Amino acid sequence: MAERKFGWGSRKDNALIGKDIQRIDGVVKCSGKAKYTADFATPGTLIARLLTCKHAHAKLSALDLAIVEKMPGVKAWHQFKEIGAEIKWDGELIAAVAAERADQAEDAIKALEKVVKYEVLEHFVDEADKAGAEAAKRLQKLGRNARSEANKDDVDAGVKKAFADAKVVHKGTYGIVTISHMCLEPHGTHAEWKGDDLDIHMSTQAVSTTPAQFAEGLEIEMSNVTVTADYEGGGFGSKFAAEEWGLATAKMAKQAGKPVRLMLDRATELKVAGTRPSGFAEISIGAAADGTIVAWDSVHWGTAGIAGGGVDVTKLPYVFDFPNRISQQYGLMCNTGPNKAWRAPPHPQLCALTMTAMDDVAAKLGMDSYDLFLKNLSAVTNGREAVYADQMRIAAKEIDWKAKWHKHGDTKGPVKRGLGMALHTWGGGAGACKCTVKIHPDGSVESFVGSQDIGTGTRTVISIVLAETFGLPITGVKVNLGSSKYPASAPSGGSITVGGVSGAHRRAAQTALWQIFDKVQVKYGLESTDGLNAKDGSILNGGDKVCTWKEACSLLGKMPLEVEGTGPKDDKLTSAVVGGVQMADVSVDTETGIVRVHKFVSVQDCGLIIDELTARSQVTGALTMGIAYSLSEERIMDNKTGRYINSDLQNYKLPRIGDIGELVAIMYQPDSEYNRGVIGLGEPPVISPGACLSNAVANAIGVRVPVIPLTPKRVLDALKGARA
């Protein structure tokens, strides 16, 4: 018998893998049958509301929750902050009240608002103001990252010489502001005690790791906690934790002896549920006459909230590294809500800073931006130079780059058109995953995994892997996920889920299939199992039908066959490191400052693609999210009051369908990529839009709009500045 090896098989033999397959849960989601956390209302469920602080920096000086105890309908309450506690940003949670009806909880919160008192302290919230932060003692000097090939012993001197020898030196200031997490479904929890056992329904990216956080916070045993997440409206990095409001929900449920549900309202969601840190930079680039970049010097600053921090210095410049470079990071400690990993942290900021500055070098040299990026591909650090070149060629053809390209600013009329590009990288290796695949003697198949489908299509992908392996239709397998009682798997973040679950399920399924093949061999007197194959509901031997799938499974006897799958393993089912290139065609109305996206092309690799449709959906979703943060989405802090002044969906501007333009998602999957196995895709396509759209706008108007998002104000201010 030939050695049995895990693998994906030949591309041409796939019945499901790599095809366009609609999500198996699409209908239940669209028809409202899928239950999200806000839909959970087991009998007696109390509704909780929050008291939040309206100061950016203060001390809690008075609050007595006793006044709500006798209020109508109020059954439980919780105080997040003790008297004397320091409040460090607008929106911090102070107290919660659970009542039989929402309006009763709101009345109780109103009563608390009348009695709560704060000692207001000095605040600092201007994330772009490095000098102001220094004056306010809110500036951190953080890491420095330098190297010089010109002078390894004296790096500073080497970098200085490289700049002196460069044909051109470009200096510019760039920035990308803080945005907030904006999942369609806000954070929230439904908690219900059954004796000592706690049932939690919550929108989470981590069903397997969250019970420990509840257990620790509530001082109960981890085995008492079950976390369930059936359907979710996005996570994007903001939903890994039990969170203080989740723990409060469980505590109030205990106090009341009734289930409690607490969902964050949108303003609170924007203020406390996590942000993407800002990045501002002064960048100098030295380049040779042919566009080869030889030197880089950057100072960047930004904030991840009161902790300071910002964008990791070790990753700047991004994707590329240059023979002589210095980068220095500062952090601003702002009285603003905390950072949480935001889809591809912190690559969108790194990309925006690096590739806009590179594009300006092209403008300074009068070069086609395409040629400058191509010229510097030898400096990419992920070894994917040839892939980028190929992706650039494909993207350029799709957007008709060569025909449409013009020198920066070289157009007439008030509405100007321009092209821009950027490229990116991401890891996306498989995360830890354990699953159980169960094959019943009647041929039905089910699986269990403590992973979750945060809206990305994980259920569908697992179904495809199992159905493909067993030669069944996608409806012939039943996938169970989203419970902490299933075999433990990694949180869904960092694009590690698809590799994790597809590898583990393939291993389990192939192992199970081989055991069934062994029984088929005995039953049907075959010489070997080498020629056996499961396809179209049958077991085939060299193409000839031996028996049906059900007949084969009946050989299992009375007990189902249960196989555990784990991963990741070094067996080529999965891999890591991807790249992608994006190009955009935009127009800029120079009288109104409004930017419109005409066409936005993404060429993206992610190894072997399980479901082409879901993959393209990931990309179009990422481009949409990218258009949001590139053109309109931003957190606006009010310096005087210290408050998050646009924490509503009127002023926290997100694009509507008419703002999106034509999105083209090209999945780059030559055999060389297919053969790498599965790699995650969630993050990478959201990285380039900021730089790509900024470069397109710069090409259109001949002026760099330094800070993203490129709002009408910033576009018009930049145009006016250039005229001055």
Partner 1 sequence: MINFEYAQPRTEAEAVEFLQSHGGQTAVLAGGTDLFNLLRSDLIAPKRVVDIKRIDSLKGIQQVSDGLLIGAATTLDEILASPLLSPYHSLRQIADAHHSMQIQAMGTVGGDLCHLPNCWYFRNGYGLLGTVNGESLAADGRNQFHAIFGNRGPAMFVSASRFAPALIAWGAKVRLVGPAPDQVELMPLEYFYVNPKTDKQSVTVLQPGQFVTHVWLPAVEPTSPVEQLSAAYEVLQLEGLDWPLASAAVTLGVSAGIVREAQVVLGHVAPTPWVSLDAATVLMGREVTVELAESAAEAAVAHATPLSENDYKVSIARAAVKRAILKAVDMLNV
Contact residues: partner 1, CB under 8 A:
54, 103, 106, 110, 414-415, 589, 591-594, 632, 636, 638-641, 643, 645-646, 648, 650-651, 653-659, 711-713, 716-717, 720
Q: Which is nearer to partner 1, 14 or 632 (by Cβ)?
A: 632
What's the rounded Cα separation, in Å, for the pair 574 and 570? 8
Give the nearest distance from C-beta 183 to partner 1 in angstroms.
19
> Rounded to 5 degrees, what are φ and ψ at 360?
-70, -30
Give the nearest distance from C-beta 114 to partner 1 in angstroms.
12
Give the nearest distance from C-beta 287 to partner 1 in angstroms.
33
Q: Determine how β-strand 538-541 pairs with β-strand 532-535.
A: antiparallel
Give the nearest distance from C-beta 494 to partner 1 in angstroms.
31
H-helix or E-strand spanning residue 579? strand 578-589
What's the rounded Cα separation, in Å, for the pair 238 and 493? 9
What single string gives the DSSP state of each residue in 582-650? Answer: EEEEEEEETTT--EEEEEEEEEEE-BS-SBHHHHHHHHHHHHHHHHHHHHT----B-TTT--BTT-STT
Q: Which is nearer to partner 1, 652 or 674 (by Cβ)?
A: 652
Give the nearest distance from C-beta 265 to partner 1 in angstroms.
10
Residue 232 region, left (φ>0) first, then alpha (ψ -120 to 50), else beta?
beta
Q: How many CB atoms lie within 10 A of CB 223?
A: 11
- Pure H helices in 413-474: 458-470
Cα 180-185-186 angle, rounded to 5 deg: 55
Q: Which is nearer to partner 1, 485 or 598 (by Cβ)?
A: 598
Contact 639, 122 (CB under 8 A): no
Give the nearest distance from C-beta 655 to partner 1 in angstroms.
6
For 155-194, letters b (16+ CB in 10 Å) and e give: beebbbbbbeebeebbebebbbbbbbbbbebbbbbbbbbe
Give the nearest distance from C-beta 392 to partner 1 in angstroms.
30
Q: Which is nearer to partner 1, 128 or 540 (by Cβ)?
A: 128
Q: Which is nearer to partner 1, 67 or 645 (by Cβ)?
A: 645
Give the nearest distance from C-beta 712 to partner 1 in angstroms.
6
Contact 647, 270 (CB under 8 A): yes
What's the rounded Cα separation, in Å, for the pair 33 and 30? 8
Q: Which is nearer to partner 1, 244 or 638 (by Cβ)?
A: 638
Residues paired with 477 in a beta bridge: 445
What's the rounded Cα separation, in Å, for the pair 652 and 636? 8
Q: What is the DSSP letter of 4?
A: P
Q: Which is nearer to partner 1, 66 or 657 (by Cβ)?
A: 657
Give the nearest distance from C-beta 649 to partner 1 in angstroms.
9
Contact 476, 454 (CB under 8 A): no
Which residue carries 């190009």 as its tokens?
583
Q: Which is nearer to partner 1, 442 or 591 (by Cβ)?
A: 591
Give the nearest distance from C-beta 145 to partner 1 in angstroms.
35
Q: Which is nearer to partner 1, 343 or 643 (by Cβ)?
A: 643
Contact 689, 604 (CB under 8 A): no
Q: Which is nearer to partner 1, 479 or 710 (by Cβ)?
A: 710
For 422-433, letters b (16+ CB in 10 Å) and e give: bbbbbbbbbbbb
Give the nearest distance from C-beta 596 to partner 1 in angstroms.
8
Q: Among 630, 550, 565, 555, which residue's Cα sits nearest to residue 597?
A: 630
Q: Which is nearer to partner 1, 558 or 656 (by Cβ)?
A: 656
Distances (CA, A) of 640 to 56, 302, 303, 644, 651: 10, 20, 18, 11, 18
Give the nearest distance from C-beta 74 to partner 1 in angstroms.
16
What's the rounded Cα separation, in Å, for the pair 377 and 381? 9
Give the nearest distance from C-beta 264 to partner 1 in angstroms.
16
Q: Which is nearer to partner 1, 111 or 379 (by Cβ)?
A: 111
> Rounded to 5 degrees, what are φ and ψ at 76?
-160, 160
Give the nearest distance from C-beta 273 to partner 1 in angstroms.
19
Q: Among 455, 451, 477, which residue's Cα sits nearest to residue 466?
A: 477
Q: Which is nearer to partner 1, 38 or 716 (by Cβ)?
A: 716
Q: Which is nearer to partner 1, 31 or 650 (by Cβ)?
A: 650
Structure tokens at 435: 């699953």
H-helix or E-strand spanning residue 329? strand 324-332
Q: Which is nearer to partner 1, 91 or 172 (by Cβ)?
A: 91
Give the nearest distance from C-beta 705 to partner 1 in angstroms.
12
Asked if the peptide bond before residue 709 counts as cis, ω within 30 degrees of 0, the response is yes
Which residue carries 């920096």 as its tokens?
57
Q: Among 340, 272, 253, which residue's Cα sits nearest to residue 40?
A: 253
Residues paired with 180 in a beta bridge: 275
What single string gives the DSSP state of each residue in 9-60? Answer: --GGG-SSTTB----TTHHHHHTT-SPPGGG---TT-EEEEEEE---SSEEE
Give the nearest distance from C-beta 269 to partner 1 in angstroms.
16
Give the nearest distance from C-beta 656 to partner 1 in angstroms.
3
Q: Which is nearer to partner 1, 366 or 414 (by Cβ)?
A: 414
Distance of CA 615 to the CA centre of its chain: 14
Q: Which is nearer to partner 1, 146 or 716 (by Cβ)?
A: 716
Cα 486-621-397 angle, rounded to 5 deg: 130
Give the nearest distance from C-beta 100 to partner 1 in angstroms.
16
Q: Among 372, 344, 345, which residue's Cα sits nearest to residue 357?
A: 372
Q: Which is nearer to partner 1, 110 or 397 (by Cβ)?
A: 110
